[in-house]
Structure 1
Amino acid sequence: MKLNYKQTFLIGFGFFASSVAWSMYNVHVPTLLEKYLESTFLIGIIMTFDNIFGVIFQPLFGTLSDKTRTRFGRRMPYILIGLPICAVAFSLIPFTWSLATLMGVVIIFNFVMSTWRAPVVALMPDITPPPLRSKANGIINFMGGLGSLFSFAVGGILFKLGGVPLPFIASSVVMLLALLVLKLFVHEEKYKEAAGFEDNAEADQKAVDDGEKSKKTASLIFLLFAILFWFCGYNAVETFFSLYVINTLKDAAGNYLTEGDASLLLAFFSVTFLFFSIPAGFIGSKIGRKKTIMTGLAGVTVLFIVMVFTGNIWVLRVLLFLGGAFWACVNINSLPMVVELAKWKDIGKYTGYYYFFSFSAAIISPILFGWIRDLVQNYDVLFIYAPIAFALAFISMIFVRHGEAKKTAAN
């Protein structure tokens, strides 16, 4: 059994487009909001609006795509309609002239994003045999990391050249190019047939007794709470890192760093996530997904604690560079663990579970951290908050007993 690398890379262009948008959104929208609002708490609340849409609508559209039958497949219709609308709305964000117009465009963008993100993510487990899903998810996240790297590195350079509008416009163009690749080269029904899946392929699941189902349910619950905790840590850093940089860090001349500098710093994290995403999938397949995730959680916890004690930009670059590799170990192997517990016909539902908990974290965490930051009036607390969240995720993972790759395809 071998992974179809070409097919997986092509599917990854959907996640690439999504990552370009989200990474740029999380870097620049908080600073756009800061022009109208002084409270970090209120900024945190507004930054959760996109995740509220995700929690409500992503499971819904994931389930709807399970039931969709068209000549383009089950998932592609949502991508082909939603992605271009998102690209247009995204390009309009920096041209808003008030809080009301900014929020109006952001709400449209985030609603439409929630209609196609679950379908595009469900493509991978849909057509990939269970033993190969960690490797495949590594490739998918490699493409996502490539999108983030574009946003942070190229976006940072474009910001310095042309201000806020230029990165948004460039990202929208890249999203449309990714859509073109998907339209021309991804034919999901053909891939599914090549993988040997059938709609009623559940034989091994029927053999599982009630006791084993109960144990799997317990593992699923602990795994989902681990996902909640580690995304609480990650989303706080992703959302507030730009504000941490421009309010805390100074260059050699004593001037505070800019949004562009924050974007370039995050590029160090993204570049190792990018290049370690595929190896992380292979490691998960080799030593086990649980061990790989727990190693990643331990590593990123230690590195973020160290960040509390240094304001040196070069040290931060090294820590973020290493942190990207550890985060890859966590992120690459989590979705495959969740869908490993699902029947083929329930993959959309379990993908919905994954996004319900990960996006719930993205709702809770910015508000919670924003409230804490307003209390202490110090952005350094970001790197105390995040390690605590990662440590709670580590504890939850101790109790996960299922979700490893089967030796043979279950489906």
Structure 2
Amino acid sequence: MASATRAGSRSAGTGRITFYVALAVFAQESTWNFYDNRVPELLRDHVASAAVIGLLMGMDNLLGIFVQPYMGNRSDNTRTAWGRRIPYLAVMMPVGAALFLLIPQATSLGRLIPVIFLYALVMNSFKPVSESLMPDFIEPARRSRANAVVKIASALTTVVAALVSLLLVDDHPRLAFAVPAGLMLVAAAVLVWRVRDSRSPAYQAALAEDEASAGGAPVNGASAGGAPVNGASVGGASVGGAQADGTSVGGASGVTGARDTDGRVRLRTVVADLVFAPDRSRLLLIVAVFVFGGAWFASRSLMTPYGVEVLGLSDGEAGGLTLPSGIVFILAAFPAALLAERFGRLRVMAAGIAVFGAGAILGAVVQTPAVTVVALCLATVGAAGFVVNAVVVLWNLAPSSRVLGAYTGLYTVGWASGGFAGPALVGLAVDVTGWRPMLLHIAVLAFVAVLPVVRADRLRRASAPGEGGVR
């Protein structure tokens, strides 16, 4: 009976923190989606060049590559009575909302560009902080289903942005910006009121590692989720070198205990450990994120011209090709998490990439609008298997609770860099071959992404016999 009560309490706690993280992501992504919808039109009032508008709209992704790992690492090293994440969210989310409200007030290009730059800088700064709350609180074995809920919340923001555009933009263009900003202010208030990440298992484990490092005691690498090793449990979080899902960290412990004289784990130390550690599975995973991110973004950003050039659709009709697959992603996200818990995350990720590639091949072979929509839906089912689980595997392979925020940022580096490179690479291939084989080019890129995932899976099973991938 006591065991059942504790299990119910853990489940309720997991549900609560999942809701709070999903709320934070929903609020911030609502502003991002509306930003992507409206800011290009605001820029067109001042700039005639589509290339310049595209460059300005891509600025936020470029900032994210540099800012997010830094801010994730900075929050990892923060120690306050409220924890290491909430202090940043309490300040930055209201500032981001205020800057968002200023965007429609900027009536000249000289004012608009600084406002959108500051908005992108602030939003990128707290994105890895809010997302890192999840691995701080939730044990590794349950992170996929929690991340699925967060991804669903993020996907729903496209609906919110569309509704705000339909209901408010034409008659009240400035008021329309207040709705997403208000959502972010509400989310910030709820997080500050209800969440104290100083109580999270990962934060308690980080404090224990701090104390052990300061005292010269050897620490073999606290688990990212806190599975006890040698019985060393600290405040509900454990200090040791195995994941709570049974997958050992193996050689990925070089960063543990490697704090500078001021007590901080530097980002350069985290990156050096990732690149040079004997266990290559984490680096392989980021390579896979980069390559698959390229395939995914290419399938999204180039689909409208493909629909016009190959399928003979109008701009509006071609722009709607991806809408059904967006709904499919929402439906597929949670099953992808459950399958990962059953069969292993790396295996589900590899299978997901294969399904994505198969969908792209189907669209390349039968080039009609109906089959293209079906192909995109099939590809999106596969993408859910990868997207829901990739960052979870990276969290679970992190060598220490002290670097979870940095790993969230490094995941973003891989994903955003793929978003830059993938459409450009596929676009270059289209320049050479024409539009008709575009989906085939995307399939080839996707199948390349399978290779590092399969290799990482083999490395994990070799280092932890009997485990079917990172569970």
User: C-alpha separation between the residues in 1 aligned to 2:170 and 2:78?
Assistant: 44
For residue 184 of structure 1, the aligned residue among 193, 199, 202 is 193
- What is the identity, as a one-letter code, of the residue corresponding to 2:392? P
Aligned to 2:266: none
CA deviation digits over 1:290-319, x for unaligned, max 9?
A: 121112112222323444567765545444
Contact 2:249 2:397 in 1 (8 A): no
For residue 257 of structure 1, the aligned residue among 316, 319, 328 is 316
Choose 112-121 or 301-310, whichever is displaced more: 301-310
Aligned to 1:110: 120
How far 1:23 sits from its partner (Å)? 3.2
CA deviation digits over 1:18-55, x for unaligned, max 9?
A: 32233334455556656735455x55544432122111
Contact 1:9 1:143 in 2 (8 A): no
User: C-alpha separation between the residues in 2 aligned to 1:316 and 1:364?
Assistant: 24
Identity of counterpart residues, as a percentage? 24
1:171 matched to 2:195? The reply is: no
Distance 1:87 1:237, change over 3 A: farther
**After superposition, where does 1:30-109 map in structure 2 within 5 Å?**
36-38=47-49, 40=51, 44-93=54-103, 100-109=110-119
Choose 269-278 or 196-205, whichever is displaced more: 196-205
User: C-alpha separation between the residues in 2 aligned to 1:265 and 1:52?
Assistant: 27
Contact 2:332 2:384 in 1 (8 A): yes
Aligned to 2:388: 332
Choose 199-208 or 242-251, whichever is displaced more: 242-251
Aligned to 1:227: 289
1:138 matched to 2:148? The reply is: yes
Aligned to 2:414: 357
How far 1:288 sits from its partner (Å)? 0.7
Aligned to 2:280: 218
CA deviation digits over 1:156-198, x for unaligned, max 9?
A: 6448865976764433333333333323332323344899886
User: C-alpha separation between the residues in 2 aligned to 1:316 and 1:95?
Assistant: 41
User: C-alpha separation between the residues in 1 aligned to 2:355 and 2:170?
Assistant: 36
Contact 2:206 2:402 in 1 (8 A): no
How far 1:369 sits from its partner (Å)? 5.4
Aligned to 1:20: 30
Distance 1:95 1:334, change over 3 A: same
Contact 1:250 1:256 in 2 (8 A): no
- What is the identity, as a one-letter code, of the residue corresponding to 2:402? K
- Aligned residue for 2:84, secondary structure, equals coil
Contact 1:79 1:116 in 2 (8 A): yes
User: C-alpha separation between the residues in 2 aligned to 1:137 and 1:157?
Assistant: 30
CA deviation digits over 1:345-383, x for unaligned, max 9?
A: 22223223212222222333455556666x469776764
How far 1:209 sits from its partner (Å)? 6.5
- Aligned residue for 2:241, secondary structure, equals helix
Question: In proportion to residue count, which structure has more helix?
Answer: 1
- Aligned residue for 2:81, secondary structure, equals coil
Aligned to 1:398: 454
Contact 1:10 1:182 in 2 (8 A): yes
For residue 444 of structure 2, the aligned residue among 388, 391, 394 is 388
Q: Which runs of 5+ in 1 are unaligned?
A: none
How far 1:212 sits from its partner (Å)? 9.7
User: C-alpha separation between the residues in 2 aligned to 1:372 and 1:37?
Assistant: 28
User: C-alpha separation between the residues in 1 aligned to 2:176 and 2:279?
Assistant: 44
Aligned to 1:203: 240
Contact 2:143 2:392 in 1 (8 A): yes
Distance 1:98 1:315, change over 3 A: farther
Distance 1:46 1:394, change over 3 A: farther
Q: Which has the larger radius of gyration?
A: 2
- What is the identity, as a one-letter code, of the residue corresponding to 1:360? S
- What is the identity, as a one-letter code, of the residue corresponding to 2:282? L
1:347 matched to 2:404? The reply is: yes
How far 1:108 sits from its partner (Å)? 1.2
Contact 1:268 1:321 in 2 (8 A): yes
How far 1:65 sits from its partner (Å)? 0.7
User: C-alpha separation between the residues in 2 aligned to 1:168 and 1:380?
Assistant: 39
Choose 339-348 or 198-207, whichever is displaced more: 198-207
1:11 matched to 2:60? The reply is: no
Contact 1:23 1:148 in 2 (8 A): yes
Q: Which runs of 5+ in 2 are unaligned?
A: 1-6, 210-237, 255-275
User: C-alpha separation between the residues in 2 aligned to 1:218 and 1:195?
Assistant: 28
- Aligned residue for 1:203, secondary structure, equals coil
How far 1:107 sits from its partner (Å)? 1.2
TM-score, normalised to structure 2, is 0.71
User: C-alpha separation between the residues in 2 aligned to 1:347 and 1:106?
Assistant: 29
Contact 1:61 1:116 in 2 (8 A): yes
- Aligned residue for 1:71, secondary structure, equals coil
Choose 175-184 or 340-349, whichever is displaced more: 175-184
How far 1:225 sits from its partner (Å)? 0.4
How far 1:334 sits from its partner (Å)? 0.4
Contact 1:55 1:356 in 2 (8 A): yes
How far 1:226 sits from its partner (Å)? 0.3
Aligned to 1:285: 341
